[in-house]
Each structure stands twice: as C-alpha cells, then as structure tokens.
A and B are shown apart, each in its own frame.
Chain A
Amino acid sequence: MYLRSLELLHFKNYPEAVFQFSEGINCLTGPNGSGKTSVLDAIHYLSLCKSYFTATDAQNMMRGESLMMIKGIFEKSGKEEEVICHFKAGQKKQMRLNGKEYSRLADHIGLFPVVMIAPTDHELITGGSEERRRFIDRIISQVNRTYLEQLNGYLRTLEQRNVLLRNAAGAKMDFETLEVYNQQMAGFAGSIYAERKKFCEEFEKHFIRFYDLITESSEETGFLYESQLHENTPLDLLHSSFQKDCTNQFTTTGIHKDDLSFSVNGMNVKRYGSQGQQKSVLIALKLAHFNYIYEHKCMKPIMMFDDLFDRLDDARVEQIIHLVQQQNFGQMFITHTAEYRLDAILNNAGIDHSFFRIKNGSALIRI
C-alpha cells in the first residue's frame, strides 16, 4: 500500500497543492514553518481522520477560509483507492472512500495505516503514563475493534464511579451502586488487561530487536508492562482500595494506572537515559509499531519521520536509514530543514529518493 498522489485545498498554509509521490523514500525539505510537517499531517488525516498535532479540525484550515479538503490516491493490492477528507466550518467532517461517505469514521481507521515519528513524540518517553497508554491503546484498537469499545466502557464507568465517590464525601455512601460499578469495571478491566498483556508480550520482542539494530547491539534494553493487575484480580483491587478511594474521592487503582517502562543497561530511560538513548527507544517503539501492524494486517504502514535529525547525530540517522532500507519498509516520508545533509546520507547509502522543496505552502519537485 502506498500513497500515489495528494491534493490539498486550504489546508494549513497551502492554498492549493498537488503532490505525486514515489513508492519509496520521499524527502520534504525547506525552512521551518514552510509546511513540510503539514504534508505529513495531511497524510495522517487520510489514515486516521484527524490531525496528529492539533485537537480541532478548524485549527488546520487556512486563515480566512471556510472549507478545507485533503484528497489522496492510494494504491492498495494493485487497486486505486481514493480517500477524501472534507471539512466545512461549523459542519461535521466528512470522510469518503471512492466517493462513498462513511457514516462512522471508525470504519475507516485501520484501512490505510500510518506510523508517524515527530519531535513532539518525545513525550512518549518523558511524559506522564497516559501518553504510553494512549500509544498502546491506539495500536491495539487498530487491529482489534472490540478493544476500543471495552476501553470506552471502562472509562465511562470509571467516570461514573468517581462522581459517586465525590458525591458521597460528607454524605452516606451508596454501597449498592458502588458495588455495581465495581463489578462492571472489573468486567471491562479484565478483558482490557488480557489484551494489553498479550500485546506487550508480542510487542516487546519487536521493540528489543529494533533497539538492537539501531544501536548495533551495543546496549541492552528492556521493555516492561506495569499493571496493578499483575498481582490482583480487578475486583479484589477495587475492594481493597475502597478506603483509599473514599478518602481521595476518586478511583485510585485499576488499568487506568497502567504504564510502560523502558530501560537501557538496567537503567530507567525516562529518568536516567541520555537524549540519544531516549530518541533511540522512541524510534524502536515506532518501528515495532510498524512491524506489529504489518504482521497483523499484512500491510505495510506508511512511515513518516518528521524532522528525523531531531536529537540524533548523522551517524545514528544513517544507521536508521540503513535499517529501514534493509528491513524492507514500504513507503516513507522524511522531513528536514537541511537538504544537503539528508541528500548526502541517502546517497551514501545508495538509496533512491525523491526530493520536494517546500517553500511557503507550495512544492517544487526534484528527483
């Protein structure tokens, strides 16, 4: 699967633009703010119906305009597939596949998978645990539809239980209703935990393999799924934290506290890792993401590296480029400010690539 062409209308700083991409490596270069990352984000829209970077669609519309459109022609198993994302101010966003509008956006997700690596992803390593839960939840829900339903059920029940605890402060606790929520949550938590555990066991292997490849096995890395459910059944956990929950007026235990921890040579990367180690862990996670989707959906996601050189030296970048080439990754997009640096590395590696020079919302191509 690859993206053959992309058309933008009033998207960020692009009034109108058309791109014809190659099946291999596509490099987008230009000064900061020229619109390189916007191209990657447009591709993200076509895959996941939303921006990778902003919370609302309106933020991505060109200033002063009231309509934006992203159109992509993919080639998938020898067939041409047209995906259109259409957004008009004040209206519901529309996604269309080959002219047919989706009634549920969720039905589109997973058909044209992408994996993005951006400088803001650093949060995945250094940020709070919710970043890491979101990371695994997104991957699992791309291959398992019911997972997302279970997760939403759990989060809604959690919200209800928390309000119940808050309402009981200073008043009488409604034990009967609380126990109903306990059991309901335990049901959801049990299946979510089982899925996450299964996922992490498999994902860990991919992750370690890629970390070894990136660092040429110079360091030993570890991947750990942390959950209070390792030692407790979900229901026991809720029962035993009852007093604490009452005091805090919210649910203090459960799968909404799950986390991942990464280590290099036995040291926690979040706390003690160097910038380079943290970036290598991040890239290994993303490459493992790629591989996981590939194995489960028999389709290579489109890889997008936004500012690949961020926090990496040239040698490491070269190493990564070699790696993705050898491992036979599919279509790839790389953005960078310095064209000559990227060009030199790709030429050194003898890798074919197309260049797009981006200048203020317009593209000049050079092959």
Chain B
Amino acid sequence: MHTELPKILEDVVNAFTRLPGIGRRTALRMALAQLKKSREETRLMAQALLTLAEQVKFCRICRNISDHEICSICSHPKRDRTLICIVEDIRDIIAIENTGQYNGLYHVLGGIISPVEGISPSHLNIESLLQRLQDNEATEIIMALNATMEGDTTVFYLYRKLQAFNIKISTIARGVSVGSELENADETTLGRSIINRLPYENVFKK
C-alpha cells in the first residue's frame, strides 16, 4: 500500500496494525467495515475497549482476568484446591477447561521469561504465587507452559523457586501445545497430557 490514506483513516489503520497479526491491508479492511456499521455500534465497541482498559480486574488469587475480585473458578466450591496449574494467560485456561479433564485451580503468570522481549521474572505473577503457597492447601503444582525454549526457561526458573516448599511439581508432556498456541492445541491430547502428567525432572542438571 503505497498510496497515502486520508489522515482520519490512517489513524485508525495505524491503531489496528498495533494488534498482533494485523497488517495494513487487514487493518484497512477492518476500518472500512466499521464505517459501514451504525454510529451506535461503533460507539459501543469503542466503549467496550475503554472499559476493558480502565476497569480490567485480575482475580486476587489466580490473577486471571475477571469481572469480580475473585474469579468464578477460584470461588467455585467444587474445585479441587490441592491442585494449582500454572499457565501463561487466559487462553490456556480456556483450552484446559475445554478438555473437561481438570478440576483444580490455576495461576496465571501473565507471560513467560524472555529478556529479548523485555520480560524478566519480576514482570510475571511469581511473587503472588509464592505468597499464595504460604497459606494454601495446595499439594501439587502442574506446569502447563508451551514447549518452547522460553517456556522451558520459565518452568525451570519456577522449579528452582518452588524448592523452598514441600510440594509436588509435575508437568504436562512436552510437545503438547496449550492455549497460547490454540490453533495447534488438540483437546484430546491436551486433556490426556493433564491426566497423565509427569513429575518434573530437572533435565538440565547433569
């Protein structure tokens, strides 16, 4: 796209291209589609975005995005409180919930360790996890992070941190995609790998 757009359109296209996976061509298509909608519809959409930014809440316990102080999973009376599954973000929770094979709680890290992308452990919800384990009935932590090198780094980092607690640490089979690779995640495989989770072994220490 070499032709200059009218500024009013250019601004919207620029805003959309900041979203992951959206190039200029798609952004322009989205902007034009939005223009065809009623003004009221656009107002509602803009309002939803604004509300998300201004009023987003994170569950006080698991740090998942939530409408309330405590999310519906953490406040559910039937969930098994001895299990905590560590995930990167809400997409992983959706994927694991969809398998119907897991009845424990979660803890959302909010990312994985990657200095290249400017993410260090202090940016992640690790302190809150350690806090949570201080006064909690959890007996097992299940690591469900993606099988990338960064995922491995994060799992290993947490493993070292969790040595201070008398707690069982297990992991889903490596090579199984979780929610942040949702398009590759296969429910049956993911479900099975949670049931047949393995005790975490430090593969690096030789």
Contacts and interface: CB of A to CB of B under 8 A. Distances in A.
Interface of A: 153, 156-157, 159-161, 163-164, 167, 174, 176-177, 179-181, 183-184, 186-187, 190, 235
A153 B114 CA distance: 14
Interface of B: 113-116, 120-121, 149-150, 152-153, 156-157, 160-161, 203-206
13 contacts: A163-B115, A164-B115, A174-B120, A177-B115, A177-B120, A177-B121, A180-B153, A181-B153, A183-B156, A186-B204, A186-B206, A187-B203, A187-B204
A160 B116 contact: yes
A145 to B, nearest CB: 14
Nearest to B113: A177
A179 B163 CA distance: 15
A176 B149 contact: no
Contacts of B149: 153, 156-157, 160, 184
Contacts of A164: 115
A167 B119 CA distance: 11
Contacts of A177: 113, 115, 120-121, 157
B116 A184 contact: no
A212 B153 CA distance: 48
Contact of A180 (B114, B156, B203): B156
A160 B153 contact: yes
B204 A183 contact: yes
Given A156-B149, A160-B153, A177-B157, 8 more contacts: A157-B149, A160-B114, A160-B116, A161-B115, A167-B115, A180-B153, A183-B204, A187-B206
Contacts of B156: 180, 183-184
A180 B157 contact: yes
A187 B206 CA distance: 7
Contacts of B115: 160-161, 163-164, 167, 177
A153 B156 CA distance: 15
Contacts of B150: 156, 160
B121 A184 contact: no
Nearest to A164: B115
B121 A174 contact: yes
A227 B152 CA distance: 27
Dominant SS at the B interface?
helix
Interface core residue of A174, A180, A183, A184 (most chain B CB under 10 Å):
A180
Contacts of B152: 184
A187 B156 CA distance: 12
Contacts of A190: 206
Contacts of B204: 183-184, 186-187
A180 B115 CA distance: 13
Contacts of B121: 174, 176-177
B191 to A, nearest CB: 25
Contacts of B113: 177, 180
Nearest to B161: A176
A233 B108 CA distance: 36
A28 B206 CA distance: 53
Nearest to A182: B204
A66 B153 CA distance: 43
B120 A176 contact: no
Contacts of A153: 149
B206 A184 contact: no
A159 B203 contact: no
Interface core residue of B121, B152, B204, B206 (most chain A CB under 10 Å):
B204
Contacts of A156: 149-150
Nearest to A149: B149
A339 to B, nearest CB: 48
Nearest to B157: A180
Contact of B157 (A159, A163, A176, A235): A176
B86 to A, nearest CB: 16
Nearest to A177: B121
B23 to A, nearest CB: 12
A150 to B, nearest CB: 11
Nearest to B202: A183
Contacts of B114: 160
A77 to B, nearest CB: 32
A184 B157 CA distance: 10
A134 B157 CA distance: 31
Contacts of B206: 186-187, 190, 235
Contacts of A157: 149, 153
B30 to A, nearest CB: 21
A179 B161 CA distance: 12
Contacts of A186: 204, 206
